[in-house]
A = this chain, B = another copy of it.
Amino acid sequence: MEKRADALQRLRQAHEEVVLAALRAEGPMSRTRLTERTGLSRTTLFAIISELMERGAVIETGAEDDGRPRGRGRPAARVSLNPDAGLLIGVDLGRRRIRVAIANIARQVVATAVDDSAPDADEAEQADLAVALIRKICEDRGIGLRALEAVGVGLVGVMDAPDRRWRAAERLGAAFGTRVEADNNARLAALAEQTWGAARSAEDVVYVRWSVGVGGGFISGGRLLRGAHGASGELGHVSVDPAGPPCHCGGRGCLEKRIGTPALLEAAASRGVRLTGTDDLLEAARSRTPAVTRVVVEAARTLGTVLAGTVAQLDPARVVVGGDLATLGGLVLDPIREALGELALPGARRPPDVVPADLGPAASAMGGIALMLRKQDPLPPVPDTADL
């Protein structure tokens, strides 16, 4: 049930977005023309423009000559988007690396950077590293942080503990004096793939990231699914064996326990192939070391079986596979395609496309930007500015 204040707030946001969309689409214009263009009353429009000016999102520029007869007095000022505004930063606080991405108001990523993080660093320490990294890259590239509008942060794991999110968000918010939101970094990668990458133009997407852990994110009808506790997308914790070994999530026989890279290294070792880590595993799979190929194909088949259930339930148009293992291409994508072809309602509909992710390791940081873009844009999907 919705309170009146929420309804009004939502209405105001919708009005703001209509104004910003008109300015994005047609460039600077007078308040009179904005009134016609948006269908808002003068009173409403003027109030919204004041607010947007106060926030620095729009500015007043010189007069326009729109060819209309005008009465006496000074010509009408034009309202336009503030070209110095709308800097958005995405941050990914990964297990071993910190990544940042910076985008301008045109939604173009203008810079990315990466730094190592200690494996035992907590979110606050990681956030401090991210702050230093952002300051450095902005100094190097001459990017002014005064225009920073928002920061979106990706974190590892289930977003169940608000204090984890707060610790990271607080540090970044204090450093830059701007609003900060945090979300699961696999879910953010899904959002980035749909905004710029392999899922672009798809409204219904299942994204899975297969590396040390197995995570994911779902987009349905153009919207990222969040869940009641912000924990939607946890593909890695679907149990593939309810009587299997316990998982750190408290469950048993979780997919992640079965196919995460540590499990693959162990399975390869039990078949007599000792590998030192992920790179070694990928290299052995690429050179088609038989035991390793078998381990990877079996794991991909297991992932495909779980994804078949996901696809039966969510009916996506596209399945995007990201993470280290996705770089193996057909070796992992084909067993997934086979499983979907056999198990995901094959008699009733064509299986979804299964494609590798496009954006590489910066996807989650870019997703932090996409998250904040969506916040400003309640109308799904992110519209192409030329079309509105």
Contacts and interface: CB of A to CB of B under 8 A. Distances in A.
Interface string A341-369: 01111111100100000000000000000
Nearest to A203: B228
A233 B311 CA distance: 10
Nearest to A341: B250
Contacts of A251: 308, 312, 342-347
A167 interface: no
A220 B231 contact: no
A387 B221 contact: no
A155 B305 CA distance: 28
Given A312-B237, A313-B310, A343 B201 contact: no
Contacts of A317: 228-229
Nearest to A381: B2
Contacts of A227: 204, 220, 314-316
A160 interface: yes
Interface residues of A, number: 76
A238 B1 contact: no
Contact of A158 (B3, B305, B345): B345
A179 interface: no
Interface string A221-265: 101011111111111011100100000111110000000000000
A128 B40 CA distance: 46
A169 B303 CA distance: 39
Interface string A123-157: 00000000000000000000000000000000000
Nearest to A318: B228
Interface string A198-226: 00011110000000000010101101011
A68 interface: no
A310 to B, nearest CB: 6
A182 B208 CA distance: 32
A144 B12 CA distance: 39
A183 to B, nearest CB: 13
A33 interface: no
A35 B39 contact: no
A10 interface: yes
A103 interface: no
A47 to B, nearest CB: 9
A44 interface: yes
B225 A220 contact: yes
A329 interface: no
Contact of A42 (B1, B41, B315, B379): B41
Contacts of A83: none
A10 B383 CA distance: 13
A388 interface: yes
A52 to B, nearest CB: 15
Interface in A1-49: 1-4, 7, 10-11, 14-15, 18, 21, 35, 39-44
10 contacts: A7-B21, A7-B383, A10-B379, A35-B41, A41-B41, A202-B228, A220-B232, A227-B314, A232-B314, A250-B347
Given A7-B387, A238-B308, A238-B309, 9 more contacts: A2-B384, A2-B388, A3-B387, A39-B43, A220-B223, A221-B226, A229-B315, A248-B347, A249-B346
Nearest first, the 10 A-B pairs at minimum CB distance are A227-B315, A250-B347, A228-B317, A250-B346, A238-B309, A204-B228, A39-B44, A41-B41, A231-B315, A158-B348
